[in-house]
Structure 1
Amino acid sequence: MHRQLIASCVAAMFLSGCSSPPAQPAANGADQGSDPVAVTPVADSAAAMLHWGAPIAGDEFNYTGEPDALKWSVYDSSGHAGNGVRSPGQVTVDGSQMVITGTPDGISAGMSAKFGRQKYGRWEVRAAGSGDDAYHMVAILWPDSGNWPCDGEVDYMETTGNWGLINFFHHYGCSNSKTSVSKTLDLTQFHNYAVDWTPDAIVGYVDGVKWFEDRDPAHQPPGSMHQTLQLDWFPDNVTADGPGELRVDWVRVYPAEGSPRL
């Protein structure tokens, strides 16, 4: 549900995103030049409860205007499966949050991170959403290669038309097979969504509590991945659609388990 820029977006119209060009990961799996990032701890985050240490990359959204161009590639393309439009004008940072707004006619936004590209590691976002059921909020790990579906996709926060239910979808293999889990949750309130990817497993957390685990080695993504954030439009062509909104307080990336950076 996330795409490579322009050419890949055309070729992969039935996916749901658009990615920035791949970057070569460092030898230790983290971006070159990554340093610990000073952040405000959140008690019910996976990072705090599981002692992940300081993040090595991310965005606290403590500025105003457009998303930081050094950190994000903002989509300018058609929407998921050709529905609606992804417009840079629909995403802004208000000094404490990143906000994506979707209009009733499907003008929305999405963006992919230039930071935290690594094979194995930990990612966490604090997010909330609201609005029409046609809008789905999504936090994805997308392959740096852009080779979808063969190189996998980890949707560790995704709605599917119900603002009271959160889903984790792990896509794997060229057949786009998947494992998944769902959980009742009030998504209009902020929650902390995390994924821990090791050579042994992909594990998901909500507010520091484990709710997803896939330990099948055949399901492992083959290469490095990066964060994306999207508000995707799924019109039903039956009922009138309304606006939607995705709000993200922060995005934080941590090194893999056992890294000397921990």
Structure 2
Amino acid sequence: MRQKLVGVALALTTSLTGSVLAAPDDGVDCEWRITASHVLAELEGDNSKRAKRIREALVSEGADKADFVPESCTETGSGGSGDDDQDGDSSGSGSGSGSGSGSGSGGGSGSSSGSGEQGATAAEAFDWGEPDVVDDFEDLDGGWNFYDGPGHAGNGIRSPDAASVSDGILTIEGTGDGTTGGMAWSGNSQKYGRWEGRVKAPKGSESYNALLLLWPTAEDFPVGGEIDFMEIMSHDRDEVNIFLHYGADNSQVQGKVEVDATQWHNWAVEWTPDGVTTFLDGEQWWKTTDTSILPPGPMHLCIQLDWFPKGDSDPGEMHVDWVKQWSVDEGEGSSTDSEGSEGSTDSDSSTSLTEEQNSKG
């Protein structure tokens, strides 16, 4: 039986000790180490007493060390019946990124069904060719590391048991007490690339955010950056955000598009040396051409249902039909020749981590 890990302890007590957050004693547990590393990053800038206690306990286990997550943990996923997670926080035009609402409701694939349907995709619209990696979620053996430990910023629990597949659809379920899940495609890390996924999120708890994001494989957030290219934050699931984190002070640029996210839609991100572009059902809706804010190193895809407790006890869930990944050469440019989205990346238009977390509740 799997040893109870950090997340279980955090859910049962508010008084944390080193023993409560002790790492498993049965060798290197990649899922625990990845989760602990993410939680430590998610606590960046949180100076509450609770956050300090969690941070101290994780640091005592070595979670702040560069080699805490060994390379073997990112060479391939651990598979199994779990999921993995990360955080989901993360703005402008000209050579920046924008907070405009982009292309409105995007393409028309929302009424299509999930498994067996494709809908309009960025890959087809811009001729990306055959993907290097695909997961159609016929099972949970697609090379994922599943989060197993504390929830986002220490809230709730991330459990591998929250993820399941049926009829080619991945479902991550979140309970009213904050037990949820996430998963990282750690073995498919790359610098630059394209990713696309078909996702929907039924209306449910306002405490749950559904995310597709890119996370730094070096586990060096915030310096390593973060690209939340699909974050469904609204209770009614009627708008979706992009947050791009950058820099040691966790600066952010963002954008928002209105869409019925309870229906199936295809969400894509393209990261090239020229910038970052996001797509909805094959149409660009946000872009930054500010190369100074791009991630400095390799990243990998994560799928997460994160819990930001707002006092309700309602469940939440998200569904994923498929995800795909393409590589991009160093000299390859953006699929579109448009300028950056409305806005800029100066300090007046960027948001802080605190502001973003507050907007989530």
TM tier relative to shorter chain: 0.7 to 0.9
TM-score after normalising by structure 1: 0.83
User: How far has the Cα of 1:4 moved from its partner?
Assistant: 6.0
Against the structure 1 CA distance between its residues 44 and 6, is the aligned structure 2 distance closer, same or farther, given a 3 Å change threshold? closer
Structure number, greater radius of gyration: 2
Structure 1, 143-152 or 249-258: larger mean CA deviation: 249-258
Against the structure 1 CA distance between its residues 99 and 208, is the aligned structure 2 distance closer, same or farther, given a 3 Å change threshold? same
TM-score after normalising by structure 2: 0.61
Alpha-carbon distance in structure 1 between the residues aligned to 2:124 and 2:34: 35
Describe how 1:122-201 pairs up with structure 2 within 5 A.
Answer: 122-130=194-202, 131-162=204-235, 163-201=237-275
Describe how 1:22-37 pairs up with structure 2 within 5 A.
Answer: 22=71, 23=74
Kept after mapping to 2: 8 A contact 1:56/1:116: no
Alpha-carbon distance in structure 2 between the residues aligned to 1:97 and 1:5: 25
Among residues 316, 321, 330, which one is paired with 1:249 in the alignment? 321
**Structure 2 unmatched ranges of 5 or more:** 1-31, 45-62, 76-115, 333-361
The letter for the 1-side match of 2:148 is D
User: How far has the Cα of 1:255 moved from its partner?
Assistant: 1.6
The letter for the 2-side match of 1:153 is E
Among residues 43, 51, 62, which one is paired with 1:14 in the alignment? 43
> Is 1:75 matched with 2:147?
yes
Kept after mapping to 2: 8 A contact 1:170/1:179: yes
Larger helix share, 1 or 2: 2
> Is 1:220 matched with 2:249?
no
Identity %: 40
User: How far has the Cα of 1:8 moved from its partner?
Assistant: 1.6
Describe how 1:39-58 pairs up with structure 2 within 5 A.
Answer: 42-58=118-134
Against the structure 1 CA distance between its residues 200 and 226, is the aligned structure 2 distance closer, same or farther, given a 3 Å change threshold? same
Say which SS state the counterpart of residue 5 (structure 1) adopts.
helix
User: How far has the Cα of 1:43 moved from its partner?
Assistant: 4.5
Alpha-carbon distance in structure 2 between the residues aligned to 1:213 and 1:253: 19
> Is 1:59 matched with 2:135?
yes
Larger strand share, 1 or 2: 1
User: How far has the Cα of 1:42 moved from its partner?
Assistant: 2.9
Kept after mapping to 1: 8 A contact 2:195/2:270: yes
Partner in structure 2 of residue 235 of structure 1: 309
Kept after mapping to 1: 8 A contact 2:183/2:304: yes
User: How far has the Cα of 1:93 moved from its partner?
Assistant: 1.2
The CA RMSD over aligned residues, in Å, is: 2.4
Alpha-carbon distance in structure 1 between the residues aligned to 2:39 and 2:198: 31
